[in-house]
Structure 1
Amino acid sequence: MSEINLGVTLFCYGTEYARYEYDFAECVKQAALAGATGYEIVGTQMLPDYPNVSDEFLGLIQSLKAEYGIGPVGYGANNDKGMMHDRNLTDDEMLADTIIDLKTAHQLGCKVMRAQYMLSPQAFERLAPYAELYDIRVGIEIHNPESPLSPLMKEYLAVIKKTKSQHLGFIPDFGCFAIAPNQAQWIKALEAGVSEEHLQQAAKMRYDGVPLKEAQANLVAQGAHPAIQTVLQGMYGFVQFKPKAELPRLLNELEEILPYSFELHGKFHYLGEDLVEPSIPYKEILAVVQDSDFSGYLICEYEDELYCGGTEFTKRQLQMVKQLIKS
């Protein structure tokens, strides 16, 4: 049976942090108050000396751990191949950057590092000895619009099996299991003046597999508010969703890659007082995890698309997960 620990990525408090309402210490405090037993640091967001980490910051982490009882368990790396204005970074350059991230994760005391699929399967394979050297398990994040066994993820799975490294694996992001529109974007569209009718039509076209350009033209022809184009882009992009009929297939894919998964990212976009995520089927996902041999952290990740702050939503998320894994 599984052993699920509950953590929080400090990215949940990104709005409060960006507005200078919270400093790093307050983010850690809020994660502890929410019930997390560990947290993830996204390096580019909260490390003052990124990509390095200073002795002063390491000292702060230790003092906060003594005060609040939690420390960093995961590190969010930055695999950005678009750093140059005139070209993408090469595999050699991406690998070099990722090795620096490994060193930083090691200094922070993290045992898991989350990497993005901009790090190619070829560079990922070459990372294995460095991950083993620093004793960091590196998981490629399976993020929407990918799914656990999409063609690209199969390439990473092949690398994992080829190297047989215990330090290369996956971190499934629950957003890739979405079966309904993103509630936060829906709310913003309504507030911007888009009609409920046009939003429903947009969602139906996405469910039906209508091509994006055709869906855009259709809504323009109906006189839909221009703000609908933003939410439509999301429906076809990084917050896309699939028909509910596809959920069994997606859950079977999750079951297949869980033995290679080091951490789970509990993505959510909205959570009302009923503790139900409208677009992501948490009950079904967690049932699969509980029936597996997964052992590690489920890291709560709130994306604050409503810019209202993540403090209350993060508390709700952990409460929801605790209820579901006990039921």
Structure 2
Amino acid sequence: MAKFKVGTTLFSFGSEYIRGELSLEDCIRTAAEVGAEGYEIVATQMIPSYPYVSDEFLGFIQYCTEKYGIAPICYAANMDRGMRKDRDLTEDEMFGMAINDLKQAHKLGCKIVREQFLMSPEAMVRIAPYAEEYGIKVGIEIHNPETPTSPLIMAYRKAFEESGSKYIGFIPDFGIFATRPNKPYWDQALKAGVAESTLKMMEQMKYDEVPQEEATKRVREVDTSAAAMSVLTQMYGFVQFRRSAKPILEGLKEIMPYTFELHGKCHYVSEELKEASIPYNEILPVVAETGFDGYIMSEYEDAGHYSGVEMVKRHIAMENKLVKDLSL
């Protein structure tokens, strides 16, 4: 039986945070107010002493935990391979950064570290004994355009299986299950003058799995604007979608034994509590079947300038409603 816990990444409030409308304490308080049971902190965004957790910052987090009743569950790490101007970081240098992330996550009391794919499968296996020593599970995020069955992710899965470690695995992002175009980008394209008929043509080509090069050629025959090209590129990239989520959901089942946390991606949740592009009513039952015991972290990615607070509030309410309605 699944034991869902709802939380949010503080990245969801990133726009308000960057504009100075919310302080870090406001973000934590707001997360608690909208129903989050725990949160993910993006280290580079919200830890002033990054790449280290200062004693002062630790004290602040402990103060917030006591005051608002929710604690950091996941430390979202950033693997910045290009931090030097003369060359990319070596594998050993990135491994060293990952070890430091583990240390800082341990200091904060986090039980999960979200790593990025720049950490190779070999480096993930190498970090496993350190993760075990700290009692922290390290997960590679699976984000569009990757899927649980894409070659890159399959290489990680093979490495995890062969290692036998229970401390290295995945953090799937629900954006990979999108079955409709991204609403904010679609609306922005309309506002920029792209004809709805052109957008519908793009949508159909993506459903029909027309190669991107051919799709680009067809679109340029009717609209050569930057706005049209931008939305088409997005459809084939980080917010791509498919006719059906079922094949990828089957792949998700296979990797759930190695899954430590789930990113509940959303770009727009309506007042009726429906995500515009991602079929949560199909996703959550599949996750429940696997007996997942962990957090679904709401992750609002601001593309339409909606309120991050409102989107997370709706998203958590949507999840709770689906869990109740489906008797999960």
Following TM superposition, the consecutive aligned residue runs of length 4 or more in structure 1 with deviations greater than 4 angstroms are none
Note if 1:153 corresponds to 2:153.
yes
How far the C-alpha of 1:150 sits from its partner, in A, is 1.4
The aligned counterpart of 2:83 is: 83
Amino acid at match of 1:267: K
Q: Answer with 74-83 or 215-224: which moved more.
A: 215-224
Preserved CA contact (<8 Å) 2:274 2:318: yes
Mapped pair 1:40 → 2:26: no
C-alpha displacement of 1:273:
0.7
CA distance in 1, matches of 2:91, 2:178: 31
Between the aligned partners of 1:86 and 1:197, the Cα distance in structure 2 is 47
Superposed counterparts of 1:128-207, under 5 Å: 128-207=128-207
Task: Give 1:209 shift.
Answer: 2.1
Amino acid of the residue matched to residue 251 of structure 2? E
Query: Aligned with 1:227: secondary structure?
Result: helix
8 A Cα contact 2:38 2:73, kept in partner: yes
Maintained 8 Å contact 2:142/2:171:
yes
Cα deviation for residue 151 of structure 1 reads 1.2
Cα deviation, residue 161, structure 1:
1.1
Q: Which residue of 1 aligns with 2:281?
A: 283
The answer to whether the 8 Å contact 2:81/2:88 transfers is yes
- Which ranges in structure 1 are unaligned for 5 or more consecutive residues? none
Alignment of 1:296-311 (within 5 A): 296-311=294-309
Letter in 2 for 1:103: K
Q: How does 1:166-315 map to 2 (within 5 A)?
A: 166-223=166-223, 225-244=225-244, 247-315=245-313
**1:64 & 1:273 partners in 2: Cα distance?**
30
Offset of 1:257 from its aligned partner? 0.9
Distance 1:253 1:130 in 2: 28
Unaligned runs of 5+ in 2: none
- How far did 1:84 drift? 2.9
How many pairs align?
325
Contact 1:177 1:250 in 2 (8 A): yes
Counterpart CA distance in 1 for 2:60 and 2:119 is 31
In structure 1, C-alpha distance between the alignment counterparts of 2:23 and 2:56, rounded to whole Å? 15
Maintained 8 Å contact 1:12/1:314? yes
Cα gap change, 1:269 to 1:136, in 2 (>3 Å): same
User: How many Å separate the matches in 2 of 1:18 and 1:83?
Assistant: 22
Q: TM-score, normalised by structure 2?
A: 0.96
Q: Note the C-alpha offset of 1:90.
A: 1.8
Percent sequence identity over matched residues?
Answer: 51
CA contact under 8 A between 1:15 and 1:308: conserved in structure 2? no
1:87-130 per-residue CA deviation (whole Å, 9 max, x = no partner) reads 33221111111111111111111001111111111111111111
What is aligned with 1:107? Answer: 107
> In structure 2, do the counterparts of structure 1 residues 223 and 250 end up closer, same or farther at CA, with 3 Å as the change threshold?
closer
Q: Which amino acid aligns with 1:321?
A: E
Q: Tell me, yes or no, if the aligned pair for 1:9 and 1:42 is still in contact at 8 Å.
A: yes
What TM-score do you get using the length of structure 1 for normalisation? 0.96
Give me the whole-angstrom Cα distance separating, in 2, the residues matched to 1:209 and 1:149.
Answer: 17
Q: In the TM superposition, what whole-angstrom CA distance separates every residue of 1:51-104 from its partner, at most 9, and x where no partner exists?
A: 101111111111111111111011101122222334332211111111111111
CA contact (8 A) 1:74 1:111 kept: yes
